[in-house]
């Protein structure tokens, strides 16, 4: 049996009961659906996911795996508890799926990939610039990378700062630390780091427009239709969305 690592301490933040669990699932599913659509539209054959987290992204990608679609799907995570939970919930593992326990900085694939996704990863790692350079090396020429991050300049954080309720939009909360976050991003910072790694930005997209705090939104009792509208309205507004994705190419 694999021994626990410090990363396992964050595993409970990816389970029901965590205050931001449902909201995070909405964002992760939206991001995963974007990637699955690209896999299908472009007929991609190999994909690498850095991190499992809520499993929502992998759940979107797994249906593309098969003889007429994706042939190789690799999931890398350094948290044994999260890997084991995924393994237990997806038995038997489908052909073409590979689970790898490793730190992203130490993972070395035997072959490059058509697409690498690093959703909600860069805010966790010690050296995001190093990881982005490694991702560049994981890609075949012309390959794509999808990155998603939480946004320091989310509309609700900007409103909170203007109201005098939040001193610094880049400051981490207790919930951020429970998830293992080390930093917040904004759109210019992510764009600059991606370009510095030798990647070309192709697209930027908002994933969820969040006008108020999670607690305030919960008290409003929003319908699924309103949550869907908040995703739709966020699409062209990555700079103020609660989270955004960036698509880049090698």
201, β-bridge pairs: 248
Tens digit of each residue's pLDDT (9 = 90 or more) over 227-247: 999 999 999 999 999 999 999
Ramachandran class of 205: left when φ > 0, alpha when ψ lies in -120 to 50, beta otherwise: beta
Q: How far apart are CA 5 and CA 83, in angstroms?
A: 12
* In-domain check, residue 53: yes
* In-domain check, residue 189: yes
Total domains in the chain come to: 1
Q: Which domain holds residue 106?
A: 6-249
* In-domain check, residue 1: no
Question: Which residues lie closer than 8 Å to 182 by C-beta, 6 or more apart?
Answer: 123, 124, 125, 126, 172
Binning pLDDT at 50, 70 and 90, where does residue 174 land?
confident
Structure confidence at residue 17 (pLDDT): 57
Helix and strand numbers (H, E) in the chain are 9, 7
* In-domain check, residue 69: yes
- CATH code of the domain covering residue 183: 3.40.50.150
Which of these, 229, 145, 139, 151, lies nearest to 185 by C-alpha position? 151
Tens digit of each residue's pLDDT (9 = 90 or more) over 114-168: 999 999 999 999 999 999 999 999 999 999 999 999 999 999 999 999 999 999 9
């Amino acid at each position: 049996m694999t021994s626990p690592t410090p990363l396992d301490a964050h595993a409970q933040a990816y389970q029901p009961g965590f205050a931001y669990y449902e909201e995070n699932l909405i964002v992760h599913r939206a991001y995963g659906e974007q990637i699955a659509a690209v896999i299908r539209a472009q007929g991609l054959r190999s994909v690498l996911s850095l991190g499992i987290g809520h499993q929502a992204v992998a759940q979107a990608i797994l249906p593309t795996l098969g003889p007429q679609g994706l042939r190789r799907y690799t999931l890398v995570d350094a948290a044994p508890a999260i890997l084991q939970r995924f393994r237990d919930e997806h038995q038997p593992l489908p052909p073409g799926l590979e689970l790898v326990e490793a730190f992203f900085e130490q993972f070395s694939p035997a072959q490059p990939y058509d697409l690498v996704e690093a959703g909600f990863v860069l805010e966790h790692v010690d050296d995001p610039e190093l990881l982005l350079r490694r991702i560049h090396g994981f890609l075949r020429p012309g390959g794509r990378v999808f990155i998603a991050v939480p946004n320091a300049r989310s509309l609700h954080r900007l409103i909170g700062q203007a109201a005098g309720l939040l001193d610094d939009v880049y400051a981490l909360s207790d919930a951020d630390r429970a998830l293992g976050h080390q930093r917040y991003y904004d759109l210019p910072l992510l764009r600059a780091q991606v370009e510095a790694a030798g990647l070309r930005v192709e697209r930027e997209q908002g994933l969820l427009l969040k006008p108020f705090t999670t607690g305030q939104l919960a008290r409003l009792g929003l319908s699924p239709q309103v949550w869907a509208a908040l995703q739709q309205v966020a699409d062209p507004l990555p700079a103020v969305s609660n989270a955004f994705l960036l698509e880049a190419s090698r």
